[in-house]
Amino acid sequence: MRETVIKINGLSKSYGDIPAVRGLDLEVFSGEMLAVVGPDGAGKTTTIRILCGILDPDEGRVDILGHDLRREIEDIKPDIGYLSQSFSLYGDLSIDENIEFFADIHRVKDFKERREELLEFTRLTGFRKRLADRLSGGMKQKLALACTLIHRPRIIFLDEPTTGVDPVSRRDFWKILADLLNEGITIIMTTPYLDEAERCTRVGLMNEGSLMVVDTPMKVKAMMKGNVVEIVCDKVRQAFFGLKDLKIVREVQAFGDRLNIVVENIEEDTSRAINKLKEMGIEVSDWRRVNPSLENVFISMIKSG
């Protein structure tokens, strides 16, 4: 049986008259990576900040590692780490000095061996004397993660950790997260990238302060209603608006030189959609049924919900 490390019941938070989190219920299990995805304003960052003890909820209860978050935050702090969207590194300090500073904040006295482990782990050993201001975006994120891990937390919260990071550094960062999972660390992250969410143990789709669903990526994708058909054509923008008005097409999404449409009957409805495009003078070079992505499911749920 999996150990529950975080249990949330009826969590709510508003900013004035604007609700940010609405009656959230969630369990997080030891050693899993949970991704919470959703549009800006969905409540993702507010939820993470509450779980880290930075914000107080208006209602609800949170237990982390068996401790009540409101009453026993000091007992929880040694076991959690938090990497925010705007993690504050000190630009005039070197990599070594930044890690030492955060070790001091967390009262880690014998930190040097741990620092060596983290530098090797994040592949920053060769840059340890470089000032933080002179690091690339990807290297800054790896240093921020090293600082987050200096006190050996059991749970880490990552708020959009790869936003603005180049693809190579983003890939390296994910390799590091996979290694953390192998060490048994529980990871809760928010991300705007649904392809990243597909790599996680479970994914939570969040909108307007509520979790619509929390399950494995495979099970979430299985909730898709209708069939997704990919159509490759020219004049994609014109085709997008043309098919939006076709009743048998439930949804249309544009991706570069192709469209994804959601229909009930693959052969019949796709044929009607392609005929519509031909009537508009749009050339269709190919079409095929594709497996739904998390993005397909998320958009479908928002539109139907």
Query: Residue 238 and residue 61: Cα distance in Å, rounded?
Result: 50
Beta bridge mates, 36 = 190, 204
Domains of the chain: 4-221 (3.40.50.300), 227-304 (3.30.70.100)
Closest CA to 189 of 164, 161, 221, 163: 161
Q: Within a 10 A sphere around the Cβ of 95, how many other Cβ atoms?
A: 29
Distance, CA of 91 to CA of 101 (rounded, Å): 12
Nearest to 176 by CA among 193, 156, 204: 156
Q: What is the pTM of this model?
A: 0.88
Provide the residue-wise pLDDT of the chain in tens; the chain has 305 residues: 689 999 999 999 999 999 999 999 999 999 999 999 998 889 999 999 999 999 999 999 999 999 999 999 999 999 999 998 776 788 899 999 999 999 998 999 889 999 999 999 899 999 999 999 999 888 998 999 999 999 999 999 999 988 877 888 888 888 889 999 999 999 999 988 888 899 999 999 999 999 999 999 999 999 988 899 999 999 999 999 999 889 999 889 888 888 999 999 999 999 999 999 999 999 999 999 999 989 888 888 887 76
Q: Which long-range contacts (CB under 8 A, 24 or more apart) does 16-19 make?
A: 19/208, 19/209
Encoded amino acid at 261, one letter: I
> What is residue 234's three-state secondary structure?
coil
Q: List for the chain the helix, strand, coil content (%; round to 5).
A: 35, 30, 35
- The per-residue pLDDT for 301 is 84
Q: At what angle do helices 112-121 and 95-105 cross, to 10 degrees?
A: 130
**What local confidence, expressed as pLDDT, does residue 93 receive?**
94
* Total number of residues shown for the chain: 305
Task: Give Cα 148 to chain centroid, integer Å.
Answer: 18
Q: Is the dihedral of CA 290, 295, 298, 299 positive or negative?
A: negative
C-alpha span between 302 and 305 (Å, rounded): 5
Residue 173: what are its φ and ψ, rounded to 5°? -60, -40
In the chain, beta strands by DSSP E: 4-15, 18-29, 33-37, 59-64, 67-68, 80-83, 155-159, 186-190, 202-207, 210-215, 227-233, 251-255, 258-263, 284-290
